[in-house]
Structure 1
Amino acid sequence: MDNNKKKWLYLVVLSLIWGSSYILIKKGLVGLGPIELGAVRIIFSTIFLFIIGFKSILAISKPQWVWVAASALTGTFLPVFLFAYAETEIDSSIASILNSLVPLFTIFIGFLVFKISFSRNQIVGVVIGLIGAIILIFQGANVNPNQNYFFAVLVVIAAICYAINANIIKSKLQEVSPMGIAVGNLTVMILPAVLILFLSGFVEPSVLEDEEVVTSLMYIAVLSVFGTGLAKILFNKLIHISNAVFSTSVTYLIPVVGIFWGILDGEKFTLIHLLASGIILLGVYIVNKNRK
């Protein structure tokens, strides 16, 4: 298969994997608490990536490990727990849409922290995207008065974390391989994750006698292997055979998959939700329109 066909295949597969992550988190929360879910997800992902790419971390120098640790904190550790807590109150489809704010925050933080320049169009795109997010959150609160949509702020914070991570990788870790960054991230996080799981009391043998817990663990195992491990590999390959602009197209498709799973699971999705989603994606499109 030539690279032109491969890149479209990778794009579709990535959209399906990442778009399905939010419903898997929701199902995982049936038998697990957000702390337990986050810790288990990190541990499962670490095991998988260690098996396929442990040698890649040998090339990371001591100075680079500081930035690998910063990347781990902002790119995986904090978002894993933030999304888990957020979905205890808000719908998985809303979480998937709000995560589309990542490219907008990437531009904003890149300028503020890393002094990366941006255009007037990108400022307009950021503002439009944020307006869409505000509409989405308020409409979600109106449609689901029994849910605490203050928790939607946690998804926004996670999106900011992802944006910080993107700028760290771009500015500080260009010489480290994508696989090295992924495995290095999890190397840094594995001990804190094990400690958190131990302190949560989840390691008690009686816990695994609960059928809901076992089922939730199966969902999180799928999420860890595919949503974290395999997706990282595919995304790195996508960038290699295409370019950054094409790769960011996955941002537009993830919410479509997330909304599909949410509706299938009985979540409410109105025309105003759809309008707000369109506004967010319009902002993302404007931001990425002339990026090289």
Structure 2
Amino acid sequence: MSPTNIVQLLILAALWGASFLFIRIGVADFGVAPLMALRVGIGALFLVVVLIARRPLRASVDTLGRRAWPLAVVGVLNSAAPFCLFAYAELTLSAGVTSVINATTPLWGALVAFVWLKDRLSTLSSIGLSIGFAGVLMLVWDQIAAPGANGVSATPATTALAAAAALGATLLYGIAASYTKRHLMGVDALTVATGTMIGATIVLLPLAIAQWPAAPITLHAWGSVLCLGIGCTGIAYMLFFHLIAVAGPARAITVTFVIPVFGILWGALFLGERVSPGMLAGCAVILVGTALATGVVKRIPWFGARGGGSPAAADKH
């Protein structure tokens, strides 16, 4: 990657890492469904404007219409449902912890592709999957061992449920990646992003209306949702697609390894979140496992095996 691409990748990681910060700030005022409906709605509006500016309107509408069903399915699997699960998780977990759990997305992507698409899973990749999920257990145990951290009073059961919700979100990302490969091959990334955001907005809008908070919403929370929709969704998606185009998907996916760094950093700086040695250790183990499972690290010198398989698509956030 060129120095310019590396800078762009760091900016993307900072934006997606910040999404966990903004979710944690906004979810207390908005609630889960309203916050995420606003996020995908603002993101969809941003991407529609970009799509119209880059493509003929008739061609864009025709493509979106012909692919409406698979785009809607991916919108639920890749945005609406996982975003809500992450927001629910952040009612209990810190922004830093959820950003670390998000790093398991490529692990699920590799596992789902193996089960569903019969993609090859090498011995090294299998070892990486085991290591990665062991890191998740370390991370969750660290949070259960210190309930009430980060200003949230939570029982071990509540903490475990929140972690399961975040892990469920990354599983959905993995399923969405394989579904996209199966049903949306040949459709350009900008059209897929725009269509899926529109689909996610349509799905979440009724829930947002039904669950709209009765209490006044602070300007702080409104600012967070604007940052989520414009910066962490619209601009971040465009930057990610640009990196795929100029550097390739294998290099673009490495953003997954940098997101937890910024997630932990922003949470500690702006929310005063606790960063324990156990949390850092769990993060390190997850990233090592992900690097092995996705083929970013292709061999261990003393092991002598080469990893295989194509990296799973990275999301979001």
* Same-fold status (TM-score > 0.5): yes
Q: Is the 8 Å Cα contact of residues 20 and 96 (structure 2) preserved in structure 1?
A: yes
For 1:161 and 1:211, the matched residues in 2 are separated by: 30
Determine which of 3, 6, 22 is the counterpart of 2:20: 22
For 2:170 and 2:260, the matched residues in 1 are separated by: 14
- Over residues 81-119 of structure 1, what are the superposed CA-to-partner deviations in whole Å (9 max), with x where a residue is unaligned? 111111001111000000000011101000111222221
Stretches (4+) displaced over 3 A: 54-57, 61-64
Determine which of 178, 182, 197 is the counterpart of 2:193: 182
* Structure 2 portions without partners, runs of 5+: 299-308, 311-317
Question: Cα RMSD between the aligned structures?
Answer: 1.9
Determine which of 274, 279, 288 is the counterpart of 1:282: 288
Match of 1:199 in 2: 210
Match of 2:234 in 1: 229
| Higher mean C-alpha displacement, 222-231 vs 262-271 | 262-271
Q: Is the 8 Å Cα contact of residues 90 and 151 (structure 1) preserved in structure 2?
A: yes
TM-score (norm 1): 0.91
For 1:83 and 1:34, the matched residues in 2 are separated by: 9
TM-superposed deviation, 1:59? 4.7
TM-superposed deviation, 1:187? 2.2
Determine which of 121, 124, 129 is the counterpart of 2:124: 121
Determine which of 151, 173, 176 is the counterpart of 1:165: 176
Match of 1:131 in 2: 134
TM-score (norm 2): 0.84
* Larger helix fraction of residues: 1
1:45-64 to 2 correspondences below 5 Å: 45-54=43-52, 55=57, 57-60=60-63, 64=67
Count of aligned pairs between the two proteins: 284
Q: Is the 8 Å Cα contact of residues 57 and 184 (structure 1) preserved in structure 2?
A: no
For 1:60 and 1:120, the matched residues in 2 are separated by: 40
1:267 match: secondary structure: coil
Q: Is the 8 Å Cα contact of residues 31 and 215 (structure 1) preserved in structure 2?
A: no
For 2:205 and 2:273, the matched residues in 1 are separated by: 33
Q: Is the 8 Å Cα contact of residues 49 and 229 (structure 1) preserved in structure 2?
A: yes
Taking only the aligned residue pairs, the percentage that are identical comes to 24
Amino acid of the residue matched to residue 260 of structure 1?
L
For 1:26 and 1:121, the matched residues in 2 are separated by: 36
Q: Is the 8 Å Cα contact of residues 80 and 203 (structure 2) preserved in structure 1?
A: no
Match of 1:218 in 2: 223
